Amino acid sequence: MTLRVVPELYCFDINVSKSFFVDVLGFEVKYERPDEEFAYLTLDGVDVMLEGVAGKSRKWLSGDLEFPLGRGVNFQWDVIDIEPLYQRVNESAANSIYLALESKSYQCGDSIATQE
């Protein structure tokens, strides 16, 4: 059995969010439903769904939405070559970078894993 997690992220403006994922990060639109403000995006085996909060679809909203959405959630994506992606994000959307690129090591069982 293979288990895949595909997050669905609410956004205030589907076009702005889709543009960031497609134009800056390099995702492709697998399919979309414009009338529902929904887009399914994919890149190298990573899939993400975007949904505008104003779209005509069912939503599970348990409270008021405030900018920025997604606080308290952390996603980790494995990237083959982070340097060009980081440079592209830094040039196109620098305000979306929370921390500068760094190497960080973590204890993982009996070994140490290093991420950049």
pLDDT at 62 over 70: no
User: Are β-strands 38-43 and 46-52 bridged in parallel, bridged antiparallel, or unpaired?
Assistant: antiparallel
The domain spans of the chain are 1-73, 79-116
Reported as a pLDDT band with limits 50, 70 and 90, residue 18 is: very high
Higher pLDDT pick, 19 / 58 = 19
pLDDT-based confidence at 37, cuts 50/70/90? very high
Query: For the residues 83-109, what does the mean pLDDT come to?
Result: 86
- Which residues, 6+ apart, have CB-to-CB distance to 4 below 8 Å? 47
**Residues 92, 97, 102, 108, CA torsion sign:** negative
DSSP states along the chain = -------EEEES-HHHHHHIIIIIT--EEEEEEGGGTEEEEEETTEEEEEEETTSSS-----S---SSTTTT-------S-HHHHHHHHHHHHGGG-SS----EEEEETTEEEEE-
Q: Which CATH architecture has domain 1-73?
A: Roll (3.10)
Residue 45 tokens, joined = 């085996």
Q: What is the pLDDT of residue 19?
A: 95
Report pLDDT for 99: 81
What was the pLDDT predicted at 12? 87
Mean pLDDT of 57-86: 76
Average confidence (pLDDT) over 22-26:
92
Say how far apart CA 33 and CA 31 lie, in whole Å: 7
**Residue 67, pLDDT score:** 72
Among 8, 21, 22, 6, CA closest to 69: 8
